[in-house]
Amino acid sequence: MNHAFTVEPGAEFPVMAGGDFVFCNFAAHDIRVIIQDSPRTMRAGSKWRPAGGFVAGDLIVKNPDPVNPVAVVLTIGTGDFDDQIIRGEVTVNPGIRGRDGVFIDDTRSTVRLSAAFGNITPREYTAGQLIGETNMDARGLDKTNAPTVLDDGRVLVCDYDGDNWHVNNDFPGGAWEPLPANLGHGTGQQIGPEIWVPEGQDLPVVGGRVVYRVYDAATYAHRRDIVTEVPWVGIPANPNVRSLVTLPGDRIGVLSATSGDDVFITDKAGALVKRLPVDGPNFMLVRNNILHVCTGTMRPTGLQLFNATTLAPVSDSEQQFPVNNTNTDAAAITRDGVLYAQFSSGAEMLREYSVADVTISASGTVSACAGSGRFKAGQVDTIAELYTQRLENGRVLASGQLLRAVLEIYAGRYMPNDYLDYIYAVKADNLNGISPRVIDAGGQSFAAAGIADDAAGTFPQTIEITLREGLL
């Protein structure tokens, strides 16, 4: 039977299969296969028949490359296996390779961006530090209960009863604008192009069950309702659907309980997958594959932690964000930290705290020259490693990770560490003293070709980036 998987740089991958032999069907570079503590180097075409065979869990694949992941296909079974037939492949479709060596369909497209840096003063935050706060009473939004943070940085809020929904397109400094309709009763999540918000009341036709209300993330138009198998227990005066989080494996976690009840895990169709016993859940957050369930009526006094993939309990040492012992109804993860809806000093507050040590290197604006790109009224931050200085003519000289900076400001979110594996070509007005500057890796990504994101140029300028699907 074939087993296909990817091993990260320098990492090991246990293969849960046993047999008499292992045959390497594909590997972009040499791998180390370890069976019962006996290692062997294998490559595409290698076969190993260890004495006595092996059982599931005995076989471990190690990627010796410290930089690039490797895609691997192993054939494992009993009996014999002979693959000495010469095989070939002819394709009429253009294709590209990533840094793991896999040949994939060519989904590349070019986005032409106009980039400018405004604020070039770095800002540093330590874990747990208050980044900023907004008095919601002063904005006419009392009893703020459920902040929902979208991928582009928009923040949605509703009051404690699930009414009075507002959006801030440039949080925290922007204006709060009312939405045309109420979305639900708890903190929601963006899943792809949609906003999912839990609803536990005001739907008498499906009374007694929690409902996922699904909306278009761009227009807020209602798309559908998903009736779940999760029981709703509460009273209209005390809505108890407080929190919804996404988990690996297309699963949803929803907190549908008053004090002392549990957290429920469903699939995206609403079927119940698992029920987690939690003592007095208040709200939930997921960060770095750890599900945090904050407990305590009205005032979070503790945490229960679970592995977000296996849902097994984990120790307190796995905590990934600070919990403030104050009157908190709900919370949501932002780009830089965690956003708490808190009541203190007689006012409803939204407070954002940093979850880790982070340096904001610069802020700026990036828009698509075709006019169809994202738009934010204010400056958007980047954590790219940059050195910047303002020239006498008002332009900004920047050096370092320019591509990461431009993409982060354009997308409104931080790039993953493997972002160079999605980029294949760049054309810029000026880079490193060359105008125009063209860098093209051909059929390989920048990561596969070993091209670093390290250049210098003056801004504003126009940059064209050719990249495949999956980054923006």
Same domain, 422 and 386: yes
Q: Which residue's entry shows tokens 């192993």? A: 74
Q: What is the count of structural domains for the chain?
A: 3
Give the DSSP H or E segment for 74: strand 70-77
According to the model, what pLDDT value does residue 94 have? Answer: 58
Better-scored residue on pLDDT, 72 or 344? 72
According to the model, what pLDDT value does residue 297 have? Answer: 54
Counting DSSP H helices and E strands in the chain, the numbers are 2, 40
Burial of 173 (0-12, 13-18, 19+ CB in 10 A): exposed
Token pair listed for 376: 């934010």
Q: Which residue's entry shows tokens 């976690």? A: 253
Token pair listed for 338: 């965690």
- Read off the pLDDT of residues 134-159 as tens digits, 9 standing for 90 and up: 888 777 776 666 899 998 888 999 88
Average pLDDT over residues 350-374: 82
- Of 311, 329, 354, which closes a domain? 354
Look at residues 173, 92, 130, 159 and name the one whose alpha carbon lies nearest to residue 363: 173
Q: Which residues contact 171 (CB under 8 A, 6 or more apart)?
A: 134, 153, 154, 155
According to the model, what pLDDT value does residue 257 have? Answer: 53
Same domain, 338 and 316: yes
Measured between alpha carbons, how far is residue 459 from residues 211, 298, 364, 408, 437 in Å?
48, 49, 10, 16, 14
Q: Please tell me the distance from the alpha carbon of residue 401 to that of residue 240, in angstroms, as a whole number.
A: 45
Q: Which residue's entry shows tokens 């798309």? A: 223
Q: Please tell me the distance from the alpha carbon of residue 374 to that of residue 427, in angstroms, as a whole number.
A: 21
Classify residue 94: in a domain, yes or no.
no
pLDDT-derived band at 85, boundaries 50, 70, 90: very low
Give the DSSP H or E segment for 411: helix 402-411
Same domain, 235 and 342: yes
According to the model, what pLDDT value does residue 86 have? Answer: 46
- pLDDT(410) > 70: yes
Same domain, 413 and 322: no
Q: Please tell me the distance from the alpha carbon of residue 83 to that of residue 397, in angstroms, as a whole number.
A: 57
Is residue 247 within 8 Å of residue 253, measured between CB atoms? yes
- Of 326, 354, 382, which closes a domain? 354
Same domain, 396 and 424: yes
DSSP per-residue letters across 202-266: S-GGGTTEEEEEEEETTT--EEEEEEEEEE---BTTB--EEEEEEETTTEEEEEE-STT--EEEE
According to the model, what pLDDT value does residue 369 have? Answer: 82
Classify residue 368: in a domain, yes or no.
yes
Q: Please tell me the distance from the alpha carbon of residue 90 to that of residue 103, in angstroms, as a whole number.
A: 13
Classify residue 101: in a domain, yes or no.
no
Classify residue 98: in a domain, yes or no.
no
CATH number of the domain residue 243 falls in: 2.120.10.30
- Of 354, 385, 401, which closes a domain? 354
Q: Could you give the strand order of the β-sheet that contains 290-295, starting from the edge strand earlier in sequence?
A: 281-287, 290-295, 302-307
Classify residue 339: in a domain, yes or no.
yes
- Read off the pLDDT of residues 164-178 as tens digits, 9 standing for 90 and up: 899 988 887 788 899
Same domain, 36 and 163: no
CATH number of the domain residue 38 falls in: 2.60.120
According to the model, what pLDDT value does residue 134 have? Answer: 85
Question: pLDDT above 90 covers what percent of the chain?
Answer: 34
Q: Please tell me the distance from the alpha carbon of residue 312 to that of residue 157, in angstroms, as a whole number.
A: 31
Average pLDDT over residues 258-279: 83
Which letter does DSSP use for residue 19 in this model? B
Q: Please tell me the distance from the alpha carbon of residue 253 to that of residue 272, in angstroms, as a whole number.
A: 10
Range of the domain at 405: 109-120+361-467
According to the model, what pLDDT value does residue 243 have? Answer: 85
- Read off the pLDDT of residues 21-51 as tens digits, 9 standing for 90 and up: 999 988 888 999 999 889 999 988 888 989 8
- Read off the pLDDT of residues 436-470 as tens digits, 9 standing for 90 and up: 899 998 888 998 888 999 999 999 999 999 998 88
Same domain, 171 and 139: yes
Same domain, 440 and 341: no
pLDDT-derived band at 128, boundaries 50, 70, 90: confident
Classify residue 165: in a domain, yes or no.
yes
Classify residue 136: in a domain, yes or no.
yes
Same domain, 161 and 273: yes
- pLDDT(202) > 80: no
- pLDDT(74) > 80: yes
Measured between alpha carbons, how far is residue 67 from residues 11, 100, 201, 202, 291 in Å?
11, 10, 51, 53, 29
Same domain, 51 and 144: no
pTM: 0.68
Classify residue 103: in a domain, yes or no.
no
Same domain, 366 and 347: no
Average pLDDT over residues 396-425: 92
**DSSP strand pairing (263-267 vs 272-276):** antiparallel
Better-scored residue on pLDDT, 181 or 142? 181
Same domain, 297 and 169: yes
Burial of 205 (0-12, 13-18, 19+ CB in 10 A): exposed
Q: Which residue's entry shows tokens 């907004």? A: 134
Choose the most confident range, by mean pLDDT, from 58-72, 312-326, 367-381.
Answer: 58-72
